[in-house]
Amino acid sequence: MAAVTAKPILFLEENQYSNFEWIGEIEDGSLLCRWEEEVLVRGPADSSGDGGPEGATSSLAFATQIAIATPDLQCTQVLYTFDKVVPVVQASVNASRTLLGFVTRRNVGEGNKYAAYVAEVAPQGGVFSLNIDCSRQIFLEFLHTEENEKPLGDSWIAKLLVFVHRESIAIYSFPLSLKDGTSWVVDDQPLTESVVRSFVWAQWEPRHNHLYYLHYRPPPEVGLTLGSCESEEDEMRPRPMLTALQFHPNKPHETVLNVPLELSGLEHSPMDLSGDYRDQGLLHTAGDAWLDLRVVTSPSGAVCICHHYIYKSRLAETPADPESCAVYLAYSVTLLHHGCVLHTVVPGVPWGHAHSALPTYSLFGDHYLLVIVPGVCMHMLDIGLDHMPNNHIVTTPPPQLLPNAQLFQICGKKVTSGRSMTFVDGVNQMLVEVRVTKESLFSLFKCSAVLSNRLAILHLASVHDKDHDLSRKLMWSVCEDPYNLDTPVLLQEYLVGETYAAVHKHIDSDAGHLISLLPITTAPFTTDTEYIESPAEENVRISYCLLENACIMLLSPRERVVRSISDTWTKLWEHTSCRHHQRFSLTDVVDKLMVSLDTYKPEALSQGSTPVSPASPLVGGLTITSLGLTLAHLMFDPLPFNEAENTTSSKLEHLLSVNLRELSMYCLKHFPHESPMRVHAVASKYVCTQLQVSRRLCSILCSSQTLVPTEKSEKGFTFIEQLEDAVATRLFTLLERYHSATEAVAFPLPQGYNSFLAYLAHRCLPHLVFMQYVQRGVLQLNVDVLREIVYDLDDTPQNVERKLEIISSVPLVRSLRALQYWQHPMSLILRSRLHAGSILAGEGPGQPRTPTQSARINAQHIQNKADCQDWGSGRQNSTRNQSDLLPPPTSMTPSRRHTPSSHSLTAFPTADRLSPFDTFLDLLTAKANLTDLDLGLLYEGTIASLEYIKPEMENELGTVRN
């Protein structure tokens, strides 16, 4: 999924530092670090001297230095040098870098003592204690706002946030004055303002000036409760509440968010953990070590509350070595913008590793949350605002990440590349760069056996990145294994995702609300999803829980202190306050088509019954240019068949019209006040794009198995005949999967595709399997396909039976047209019987002739009239006149024209008896006019019956007699 590069930090390689640690981060991305180094320390004066500076002594001793590392970690600048070793665990510096706040931790007996100080650093001056010395964790953060960064004349006020765990959060305002025109010094005692009285956990977000803290909501007052399913103990239990504060420049801060949380292990540790605090200056948090909580927000309005915890199964036995006990590593992500909680459980993690693991949560672009647990997992969670979170990428971490790594993301005011993120490994002192590249995504797609993973990668490439080249490569990878059962589902995701991306790219901005109704993915929003991870004995499980009836308090823009501002909270308010409609379901169109296509007859459906003209399948007057697609684009998507159909109204037109009607009605249902013209424009563009994307996918599948013919080479049936058997079989398998995928999501097929697929199936499938595809409606046998099949098969007895079975599987009108291309006695017999049967049943001629056919039959009759004079002279004039109208064979080749022989004259008039054939003609003329009769067809059918069927019957009778 990601290409990871880990390399040593440059300035650490060039210098030898002892006890090096990262202790803080500045808003611009620079990091605060400290180390111990031998420096020249000025000692006190000798007692025999006069006590002046000249009497002071200097000596080398280890002392603590605090420095600022550049965002690229190439070099450092020493900020403050102590005269001794000071156990600094966390620090912060103001924007002008004139004051340094730091926290020390000392071991006192069996516990630790924390203390807070502020030092002058421009230039280095005195150190002031904040008079806070306790066993609780202390955390300091300078407020970085635009007004505080600019001094007003010779005075300035620097504001410092002071966190004392489970006690208070306060703002210390330090008055600064300019001394000697060069240095800023603390002028007076700081003013203190209380912000929070008590908290369980707190986090400062320096880039957005957000303060989050977790506290207990007081239990409800004791009283009578009706219908409560909770026990009294649960009702009186304190509930955790997360509160968010927003700080403004030169304005009072405000409480913008209150949300109740259900966190595992909040009251007590889930296992026997030590009570030491986890002092990590780069986390910007203060809280218990076992309460691993993070809040990640984006300016677009996404708010993710991430909670990491571990637990052990009750049935699992504790081994002799507790470090090797297999536990469940889990984390939950509360997505306020979607109103749901995402739970992820990774089984089989050793207790020692799970206890020390520190997950990293980082926003990856606008749509993903990257979760990295070194040595355990790497997940990309789809948490964007566009749709519900249901396309997640789950994989193992790359080997470049050491199992004991603790990653902290480095980012400043500059926009971080959407494809690259930089982390610092606080344990191994490495600079780690994580890049999600096309190559890494393609490699994971090929090697992954998890359908959910592959769908998520395809969704990322087509919808979020709109990378058509990567989507094409992924489809080529799918074509390498056409027999995989997951292939149709992946093809469906490509069709839906690419269509949405194309429409979203070319739609007008004023129709953005209609875009929210279009299908975006085929992956359902299920409550439970399993991801198979090969090293694990069990599956990684991701489940969801909706935040129903959650008492979330969020300030509206009108209630804000600064109403004109546009930040995370206003975007979150806009997203949660607007009504979210369910997206259009393509399965509804599939259900409509299942009903309508049962009675669909292309031969009988008139052109005016649908709003789409078959000459131009692009509906709504749209063209390829209006979709941003030029002929140059289409040249990269050639097809091996001619995109043309001869039917009056094709199935393609019917499917497009149903899609257009259902989508338009759905949009008008959810937005009844919207302009019908705008709705029709969006629906038309979506339907047009469906056809273009379907065509593109068909071209990708065909080109993956063989060379697609150029414009000058042969296409269609000739192209199929030139394919090798193995290539034809693989191509049919892929196209059959493609056909199944389009039917599942009601997407149209290119014109000419059905004929190409049917003839391809005839060439590479056994006859029995081929007929099963035909009988179940997968293959459509039109007249062109039937003609090619008739020409392709020889007239052996077995092939004659196959031809009859194939021809009889299509409607009667199509069968008659196909029989005209079959130059065989059985074709004449069937056509003549059907013609005579329709006349006798009063249904008309059944096989109307064109004027050209009638003229040809009459001309041949006149030319060969002399051959019919010996049929009998004893007949009456009326009978003789009718026999004069009998033409010779018209549909048989000259080699198959026969003169009535001795055994064939039994059906025709003789001098001593009545003709059965003339008697049958009398019956036909009584039912229809003579002009409606195809006498030549009846004549040839009678001869064929005597010459083709009678010998077979005689042979069978002879066999019985013997």
Helices (H) and strands (E) in the chain, counts: 26, 33
CB 889 within 8 A of CB 897: yes
Residue 430: closest CA among 400, 467, 457, 453 = 400
The residues that bridge with 545 in the sheet, in sequence order, are: 341
d(C-alpha 691, C-alpha 810), whole Å: 27
Q: Is the four-CA dihedral 725, 728, 734, 739 of positive or negative sign?
A: negative
Q: What are phi and psi of 256, to 5 degrees?
A: -105, -20
Report whether 136 contacts 165 (CB < 8 A).
yes
192 and 171 in contact (C-beta within 8 Å)?
Answer: yes
CA 70 to the chain's CA centroid: 38
Pick from 205, 143, 246: which is nearest to 562 by CA? 246
Spatial neighbors of 919 by CB under 8 A, at least 6 apart, are: none
For residue 535, give both structure tokens.
């090293």
CA dist 173 and 193 (Å) reads 8
- Contact status, residue 907 vs residue 917, Cβ threshold 8 Å: yes
Q: What is the biggest distance separating any 2 CA atoms in the chain, rounded to whole angstroms?
A: 166
CB 735 within 8 A of CB 760: yes
What the block records as the tokens of 671 is 């937005």
What integer pLDDT is reported at residue 470 of this predicted model?
94
Query: What per-residue confidence (pLDDT) applies to 813?
Result: 83
**592: which 2 tokens?**
């409509």
Residue 924 to residue 833: CA distance in whole angstroms: 12
Strands 124-134 and 138-142, by their bridges, are: unpaired
Task: Write down the residue that tokens 């196959």 correspond to.
Answer: 802
Distance separating alpha carbons of residues 288 and 309, to the nearest angstrom: 12
Say how far apart CA 940 and CA 893 lie, in whole Å.
11
How far does Cα 611 stand from its chain's mean position?
A: 33
What integer pLDDT is reported at residue 914 of this predicted model? 58
Closest CA to 541 of 526, 555, 553, 554: 526
Please give the C-alpha separations between residue 369 and each of 246, 360, 497, in angstroms, as whole numbers. Answer: 23, 10, 20
| Parallel, antiparallel or unpaired: strands 210-217 and 239-248 | antiparallel
Q: What is the DSSP string of 237-289?
A: S-EEEEEEEEEETTEEEEEEEEEE---TTSSS-SS---------GGGTEEE-T
- Residues in the chain predicted with pLDDT less than 70, given as ranges, are 41-58, 146-153, 219-238, 264-275, 314-322, 412-418, 531-538, 548-550, 598-636, 645-650, 707-712, 844-915, 949-962
Count CA within 13 A, CB hemisphere, residue 647: 24
Six-digit token string for 811: 């409607």
Q: Which helix (H) or strand (E) is 138 found in, with range?
A: strand 138-142
Q: Is the dihedral of CA 895, 897, 898, 904 positive or negative?
A: positive
Give the separation between CA 491 and CA 455, rounded to whole angstroms.
Answer: 10
Q: What share of the chain is helix, strand, coil (3-state, %, to 5)?
A: 35, 25, 40
| pLDDT given at position 632 | 41
Specify the DSSP class assigned to residue 747: P
H or E element in which residue 474 lies: helix 468-479
Of the candidates 478, 404, 468, 379, the residue with the CA atom closest to the CA atom of residue 737: 478
User: What are the structure tokens assigned to 657, written together?
Assistant: 């019209």
Q: List all residues 6 or more positions away from 495 whose beta carbon is below 8 Å from its beta carbon.
A: 690, 693, 694, 697, 741, 742, 745, 747
H runs (alpha helix) in 782-869: 783-792, 797-807, 812-819, 825-840, 851-863
Half-sphere exposure of 877 (CA within 13 A, CB side): 0
454 contact partners, CB below 8 Å, separation of at least 6: 445, 448, 486, 490
Residue 743 makes CB contacts below 8 A (sequence gap 6+) with: 590
Residue 864's pLDDT is 43
Q: How far out from the chain centre does Cα 920 lie? A: 69
Q: What is the pLDDT of residues 187-210, one digit of tens each?
A: 888 999 999 998 999 999 988 899
Query: Which contacts qualify for 415-424: CB closer than 8 Å, 24 or more apart?
Result: 418/364, 418/365, 421/362, 421/364, 421/370, 423/360, 424/9, 424/22, 424/31, 424/73, 424/282
Residue 881: count of CB within 10 angstroms of its CB: 10
- Token couple for 214: 């977790």
Under a CB-based contact definition with an 8 Å cutoff, are residues 581 and 670 in contact? yes
Return the number of other C-beta atoms located less than 10 Å from residue 56's C-beta: 13
Q: What separation in angstroms does the CA of 879 have from each of 8, 876, 885?
A: 110, 5, 10
Write the single-letter amino acid at 673.
Answer: H
String of b and e for 208-245 (b: at least 16 CB within 10 Å)?
ebbbbbbbeeeeeeeeeeeeeeeeeeeeeeebbbbbbb
Residue closest to 409 by CA, chosen among 184, 682, 205: 205
Q: Per DSSP, what are the bridge partners of residue 42?
A: 58
Q: Give every strand in the sheet of 528-531, ordered side by side.
A: 292-297, 303-311, 326-335, 340-350, 540-546, 528-531
Alpha-carbon distance of 244 to 267, in angstroms, equals 21
Backbone φ and ψ for 770, nearest 5 degrees, come out as -60, -45
Q: Where are the alpha helices (DSSP H) in 480-585?
A: 487-506, 512-515, 568-577
Q: What is the 3-state secondary structure (H, E, C) of 567-592?
A: CHHHHHHHHHHCCCCCCCCHHHHHHH
Instruction: Give Rg (Cα) of the chain.
Output: 42
- Which pLDDT score, from 0 to 100, does residue 951 have? 61
